[in-house]
Amino acid sequence: MAYSELIKNFESIRDYMREFYVYGFRRRGEVGAKSARSYDNEKRRIESWLGDYMSFTRSPSGRARFLSMDARNVRHNPFYQAFRAKSFTDNDMILHFFLLDLLGEEHWLSFREIAEGLHGEYFDKLKKPFILDESTIRNKLKEYVKIGLLEQKKEGKSVLYRKVKCGVDLSSWMDAVAFFAEENPLGVVGSFILARKGLQNATCFQFRHHYMLYALDSQVLYELLDAMKGKCAVEIAVARRRREASRGYGVYPVKIFISTQTGREYVLAYEYGQRKLSFFRLDHIKGVKKGRREEKWETYERRFEKFRKNLWGVSAGQERRTEHLEMTVAVYEGEEYIVRRLEREKRNGRVEKLSGDACQNLTDVRGVAGLYQYMADERGGVELYQYTADARDAVEMLPWIRTFIGRIVKLECTNPAVVATFESDMRKLYDMYHV
């Protein structure tokens, strides 16, 4: 079959783009294509959208393709281009333009008037015979009502349709749209608006941390948000590893979480099979199928409000158990910013200043494993502050705790793995620098 830039299955191209961008440096046989032709076709599609960012390396085992871009120099997310390559049929195109030309924003038309108008004013005047059955027209009307192109109302036994009125002048909103397109999880909407105005490359914004890959998860995110708005359960297909067959989960989506460090997106949902709250990464979700309205939605959301009080990141841990952590840090004179940082980043924990008696005779503060020390007499006065938290999974806190290395006086946790891991890290760090 001849190569076409258009795609029928977005999930397939989503996997390939992630393979090239996230993993990269993979040869044809390592990507998991069904055939060499499939790999070549998908690669050429991606090159047609992202040719400026596609590179390759040579090795004895073959050529490896990858995507590489400096986010600081990319002002418009290039991954949105994949959404403009959806395939369509001749019938889709003809019906789209004729239908929108027939319907106006002022007058309502019934289905019968629409069907007769399409045939009498459009189809019958084409050079080649063109016939569409009524079910196709009816399904297209339902689709356009759902996506917001048309609105409908019932009058007696008839359902009437017209185009949605749009009185918004977007010309003065282009800067806001440009910012939305790059910063919002559903920025693909802003990208389409900019493209329609011919301004997709015109923006006054430049981003230091530009997380672009979330664009590929826009459809999954939209379907989850749509289900959340309607308080509906969903069936999600999840593949946690590459080349792994997807597994179905029946869940009620409660909250979307987005990492400010990586841009990675998660959904926290009540998992019916396990009867617990669980996190799922959006880039692992292959599909979302909206189901029935959940009658117990208030119960699950109240459960989440209680659950979130001890949530640090995106590890649910054991819902009925928390882990207690205490960290004491030394703050020297003129370092009030450390206290402000503790207060700002404490999330669900609390920060307390220890009594002055604990600091009076402090001249040498040793760390958890005795691997580093402070000399208070050289740096002036020192005060101790204690951070206390009860977390679902205290191991998640370790990256944040490590940022206070050199100040930590004491670290205790009911999960022994937390302290053991921290001490092990400190020994490795000490061995690395100790001669």
Of 168 and 416, the one with more pLDDT: 416
- Average confidence score pLDDT of the chain: 82
Residue 319 sits at the vertex; the CA angle it makes with 313 and 322, to the nearest 5 degrees, is 70
pLDDT of residue 22: 65
Q: Which residues of 189-203 are buried (b: 16+ CB within 10 A; e: fewer)?
A: ebbbbbbeeeebeeb
Q: Judge contact between 88 and 56, C-beta under 8 A.
A: no
How confident is residue 220, by pLDDT bands cut at 50, 70 and 90?
Answer: very high
The pLDDT, as a whole number, for residue 4 is 63
Rounded average pLDDT over 315-331: 87
Strands 373-375 and 247-258, by their bridges, are: unpaired
What's the confidence (pLDDT) of residue 352?
94
Segment 223-242 mean pLDDT:
90
In this structure, of 56-65, 254-263, 310-319, the range with the lowest mean pLDDT score is: 56-65
Please report which confidence band the pLDDT of residue 371 belongs to, taking 50, 70 and 90 as the band edges. Answer: very low
pLDDT at 376: 42
Residue 103: per-residue pLDDT:
87
pLDDT, position 51: 75
Q: How many percent of the chain have pLDDT more than 90?
A: 29
Question: Which comes out higher in pLDDT, residue 299 or 43?
Answer: 299
Question: What pLDDT score was predicted for residue 373?
Answer: 42
Rounded to two decimals, what is the model's pTM? 0.76
Whole-number pLDDT of residue 1: 47
Mean predicted confidence (pLDDT) in 237-241: 81
16-37, pLDDT tens digit by residue? 777 776 666 566 666 665 667 7
Nearest by Cα to 392 from 263, 298, 278: 278
Average pLDDT over residues 214-230: 92
pLDDT of residue 6: 67
Q: What is the mean pLDDT of residues 307-320?
A: 84
Res. 358: pLDDT tops 90: no
Q: Tell the burial category of 172 from Cβ atoms under 10 Å away from its Cβ (0-12, 13-18, 19+).
A: exposed
Burial degree of 99 (CB within 10 A; 0-12, 13-18, 19+): buried
Q: How do residues 103-139 score in pLDDT, each as one tens digit? A: 887 889 998 898 888 888 888 877 777 777 888 888 9
Residues 293, 230 contacting (CB under 8 angstroms): yes
- What's the average model confidence in pLDDT over 408-428? 92
- The pLDDT-based confidence of 421 (bands split at 50, 70, 90) is very high
pLDDT in tens, 195-207: 887 776 667 787 8
pLDDT (0 to 100) of residue 413: 95
% of the chain with per-residue pLDDT over 70: 86
CB contact at 8 A, 205 and 75: yes
